[in-house]
Structure 1
Amino acid sequence: MRVAWVRGALVFVAGADTVSGQTKSTPPALTLFDDTLDAVRVMQNDFFQPWVGTWPTAIDWTAAVMGTQVTGALHSLSRNLQTMRVSGNQGNDFKAKENLVSLYFSQLVAFYFGQDSLSLRGQAFDDMLWVVLGWLDATRFIKDHSMAHFDGLLGVAPFAQEQGWYGNQWTAAFAHRARIFWHLAERGWDTRLCGGGMNWNPNLSPYKNAITNELFISASIAMYLDFPGDTNSAPFGAHPGAGFGASAPSGTAIYPPKDRKYLRAAVNGYSWLVDSQMMNNQGLYADGFHISGYPQKNRTKCDSRDEMVYTYNQGVVLSGLRGLYRVTGDPSYLEDGHNLIASVIAATGWDLRRNTPLDTFSARVPRWYGLGRAGVLEDACDITGSCSQDSQTFKGIWMHHFATFCAPLEPDDSRVAFNGSDAIHLVECKRYIPWLQHNARAARGTRDERGRFGMWWTAGLLDTLTTVNMVIGPDTLPAYGEDAVDYRNEGVPQDEKWMGGSRPIVMRAGAAVRDVNDRGRGRTVETQSGGLALLRALLELERL
């Protein structure tokens, strides 16, 4: 695909190979599971450095999300171990499978030490809550993988030490970090301003935004459901009767599991979010609320809404809604989640009833519907290649929490009983599969020769076209109005780390050829995690 500027408009020349002039060949098809494994392989091989225990190009909060995406991949890998086949000697089949799990789990453990947890303690409340979600996901993986594949080890020999899978030894450490950061973050909740809600950043003027409140909801219900307890009071020693770094007597949890304060926090958090009027007329969450004129006397009402819409603001709450339903059995939580998903899909320009995009490519790039075009999920910065490091992470976050929301429901002691909503939930989730397949087809088309995903998934469809001179016109550019401030892209440092720099134009056969996904920051660990999360979401839904 060639790209050029013509009279101020970005023009895509698509459909022909720039060397031979022939239609671009499609890469050999792999199975969805193979594609997902390849996505995590590229993400870890190209971007993760075991000796420092992190993705060096990531920043603190995006690294926390990367850890969550690796854990998600481990969940899917574990669930597919029984059907996964390895070519060659089938006697080594189990060894190959478990070796793969151990590889990525060992990198997750390395990240526990590589994560800059000290710096994160002083950052914004949303940064802290990404940490909570990540390590609770990891403790849940340990539990599920151990129960599914290693229960038979218990008690078989003295060296087994009643622990089952070796990964169980890390549960206490992961849970401890999650607990520390939840208690640090809960300080962001206040009722003096805006009638409640989480403040975004303690060091800035009050801003009650969607992402911090959604994170608090999802992290709180996850603490209620998945936190196994903590016997270690470090680093604060704040528990009554505990000295600095003191531990409880063996087997006694200073911070017990199933503490209902976490459940209350999740219920209250979602109630506030619903009542806050954060949702716009498309059924999507705007970014957040300021208090106009603050800090003038008696100004306490959230009355100035930033109308900017980002994909991740529509996603994180989904795992919280799934957890709230799991505990309460209240079908309204599932209904709210499905309504939000339907709004997101509609905002990509996809007709759920007909399972087809509303527009196709013709002489112009298809129109913008609010969160995408031609049925493909986008953030507003995608088309211009101006996405910051923050925004490059957003679509993957949406896909991760969407997959969590649509995972199969199972009987749970914390829920009253199964009801008709369970069956309806699965039927609704299956309706999203064609849309996911369409997005996966687009995203796969953005991979370069090294298998790295690009940011702008829609560009992956361009090479399938015969139309040339596709021009971006004013009607196809995202616009949210003068009340929208894109501070996630326009308000970040304009340097190489956050925004990248200009990429050289590659010369092929004497013609200027440029991959549109090399613009700006280009392909990064954040864009790779987005492709991974999308493929994993489709893999999980096709299991339903």
Structure 2
Amino acid sequence: MLFSIPRTLAVLTTSIAISNALPQPQPKATPLPHTSPNPNFHQLSERNLQSRATQTQYVTYAVAGINQLMTWYNAATGLWSGDWWNSANVITMLADFQDYFPSMATGITNSVFPTTLAKAPSTYAGFLNGFYDDELWWVLAWIKVYDVTQDETYLTTAAAIFEDAKSAWGTSPCGGLWWDKAHTGVGAVENELYLTAAAKLANRRPSTPSQGYYYNEAIKAYTWFINSGLINSGNTINNGLVLSTCKNDGNLVFSYNQGILLSGLAELTWASGDDSYNELANTIATAAIAALTDANGILHEPCEATGCDADEEQFKGVFGRNIQFLVNRATVLPAATKTLFVNFLEVNANAIWADDEVDNQLGLVWSGPEGTATVQTQSSALDAIVGAACVS
């Protein structure tokens, strides 16, 4: 059983642990919406990292990794090591884990979700700062928490944050959404986040505050993105636009830019009934796997050879998380594509635990050798491990 955790966390950098006794995970009965995960539960057996792990082994790895991650949680600020948008991604990962394995997660999340909701705004009031992408990561985090808790407070918070980006949409010389409030660039990340947030809000608030309020924003964002040139001839997405020309900057193909859009496109198919949105998600995901994995199928970020910064350390998990979403939630997913996506998650989760783990700490390069773990590398790798658990 999970031990009881007080609802108010008062200890700085509190260590909160999930029980390693591993009670049987119970899959969510009625996931949102359309497809129902049907995980196979296996009895815990000896790890064999040379072959595909069982779901229970992935859950075991996730529990160990989350316990380590929680040693970096600061209950006074509601953040992990003071990292802002990265903490939103940690919240999303934890909510994904709760979605499929609630009995394993709620000992932590029942305290962490309300604590972060209450405390994080002391860093940036209303979850608003100088960067629209940062704000929209929090929108997605609170939408996911709403999905697993059905607490309207989280959805209301997400909708309130979204309004700040909505008020700025279309004001750049290239259209779309500025990356920042200083107006230094127009990128893929914030525009993908805007589309995805709008599509998710459309499915959860179809007639609030008015009929089609969020759906219209999602369609507007989709139309802009498709016409922006950010999707290149290889069906992957470059980093941004050149402001002087509003053309694709040809910059690096970062993994997270291939992932953010996937769940938004799938949800746009739910909202519209038009399969083409989900089909585009499958195309982008398939192209990204081909472009960004090595001969063994392990995902790499372009910066790994020279060293990634703290932002880039987060990126790969975003892609893995959204691949899991397609496997379990997409309404348009050919069998061969599903097999590709499941294999991608399992191969990467296996590699992380075999080659990138020391004392439950997970580094940047999933194929190894082991490196120094940070909140970003830990939570990013956990996205892949949780994803593998959710699809196995």
- Band of TM-score, shorter chain: 0.7 to 0.9
> Secondary structure in 2 aligned to 1:517?
coil
- Equivalent positions of 1:289-438 (< 5 A) are 289-292=241-244, 301-303=245-247, 305-349=249-293, 372=294, 374-384=296-306, 386-408=307-329, 422=331, 424-425=333-334, 428-438=337-347
Residue 306 of structure 1: how far off its partner (Å): 4.3
Question: Does 2:145 match 1:138?
Answer: yes
Separation of aligned partners in 2, 1:540 and 1:260: 32
Structure 2 counterpart of 1:392, one-letter code: E
Instruction: Decide which structure has the larger Cα Rg and report it.
Output: 1
- 1:371-430 per-residue CA deviation (whole Å, 9 max, x = no partner) reads x4542111012233x111101110111111221222145xxxxxxxxxxxx464455223
User: CA 1:76–1:185 in 2, change beyond 3 Å: closer, same or farther?
Assistant: same
Aligned to 1:35: 58
Is 2:238–2:248's contact at 8 Å kept on the other side of the alignment?
no
Is 2:80–2:375's contact at 8 Å kept on the other side of the alignment?
no
Structure 2 counterpart of 1:32, one-letter code: Q
Separation of aligned partners in 2, 1:458 and 1:75: 28
Residue 42 of structure 1: how far off its partner (Å): 3.0
- Coordinate RMSD, CA, aligned: 2.5
Is 2:320–2:384's contact at 8 Å kept on the other side of the alignment?
yes
Is 1:57–1:525's contact at 8 Å kept on the other side of the alignment?
yes
Question: Does 2:388 match 1:538?
Answer: yes
User: CA 1:59–1:373 in 2, change beyond 3 Å: closer, same or farther?
Assistant: farther
4+ runs of 1 displaced by more than 6 Å? none
Length-normalised TM-score, structure 1:
0.58
Q: Between Structure 1 and Structure 2, which shows a larger proportion of helix residues?
A: 2
- Equivalent positions of 1:238-257 (< 5 A) are 256=208
Structure 2 counterpart of 1:381, one-letter code: C
Structure 2 counterpart of 1:113, one-letter code: A
Question: Does 2:96 match 1:72?
Answer: yes
Residue 192 of structure 1: how far off its partner (Å): 5.7
Aligned to 1:104: 109
Question: Does 2:283 match 1:283?
Answer: no
Structure 2 counterpart of 1:110, one-letter code: T
Is 2:188–2:230's contact at 8 Å kept on the other side of the alignment?
yes
Aligned to 2:370: 517
User: CA 1:308–1:49 in 2, change beyond 3 Å: closer, same or farther?
Assistant: closer
User: CA 1:440–1:56 in 2, change beyond 3 Å: closer, same or farther?
Assistant: closer
Aligned to 2:366: 457
Q: 2:183 aligns with which of 204, 219, 223?
A: 204
Question: Does 2:81 match 1:57?
Answer: yes
User: CA 1:27–1:429 in 2, change beyond 3 Å: closer, same or farther?
Assistant: closer
User: CA 1:348–1:281 in 2, change beyond 3 Å: closer, same or farther?
Assistant: same
Is 1:282–1:343's contact at 8 Å kept on the other side of the alignment?
yes
- Equivalent positions of 1:444-523 (< 5 A) are 444-459=353-368, 516-518=369-371, 522-523=372-373
| Matched positions, count | 341
Is 1:437–1:538's contact at 8 Å kept on the other side of the alignment?
yes
- 1:323-361 per-residue CA deviation (whole Å, 9 max, x = no partner) reads 001111211112101111110111135xxxxxxxxxxxx
Q: 1:179 aligns with which of 159, 174, 183?
A: 159
Structure 2 counterpart of 1:60, one-letter code: W
Residue 139 of structure 1: how far off its partner (Å): 0.6
Is 2:228–2:247's contact at 8 Å kept on the other side of the alignment?
no
Is 2:275–2:332's contact at 8 Å kept on the other side of the alignment?
no
Is 2:238–2:253's contact at 8 Å kept on the other side of the alignment?
yes
Taking only the aligned residue pairs, the percentage that are identical comes to: 23
Separation of aligned partners in 2, 1:304 and 1:103: 43
User: CA 1:533–1:224 in 2, change beyond 3 Å: closer, same or farther?
Assistant: same
Separation of aligned partners in 1, 2:206 and 2:56: 31
Separation of aligned partners in 1, 2:124 and 2:165: 13
Tell me, which stretches of 5 or more residues in structure 1 are unaligned? 1-25, 79-96, 144-170, 230-255, 293-300, 350-371, 410-421, 460-515
